[in-house]
Amino acid sequence: MHTDRGSQYCSREHRALLEQYALIASISARGNCYDNAAMESWNHSLKVEAIHGEHLATREQAKAHVFDYIEVDYNRIRLHSTLGYLSPEQYELANVA
């Protein structure tokens, strides 16, 4: 799991979770905001396009809402410049050998 250098990622609780799920910690280089640019861009898209302005009363509502955003909007409808302005689904179908 790649993170920035936030103190919360050094906590015992966080390290225990990583161990519980057999994840390896990866931490950004100090002072390098571009180290995790792809994930930061994804988080921004999720927050702005799916979460901002929504009232999600329960964790289950939030999980369902995020799932729908990813599986319907992000992967099937939303065009991505890095994929030649195709959706991930269109790109994958076009590149299946």
Classify burial at 46, counting beta carbons within 10 Å of its beta carbon; exposed 0-12, middle 13-18, buried 19 or more: middle
What's the pLDDT at 30? 81
Q: Please report, for the chain, the start and end positions of each structural domain, with discontinuous segments joined by +.
A: 1-35, 36-97
Tens of pLDDT, residues 44-64:
889 998 898 889 999 999 999
What is the spatial distance between Cα 48 and Cα 87, in angstroms, rounded to a whole number? Answer: 18
Q: In which residue are the tokens 């179908």 written?
A: 93
The mean per-residue pLDDT over the stretch 29-56 comes to 84
Rounded to 5 degrees, φ, ψ at 28 are: -55, 150
Residue 3, classed as helix, strand or coil, is: strand
Answering whether pTM is above 0.85, one says no
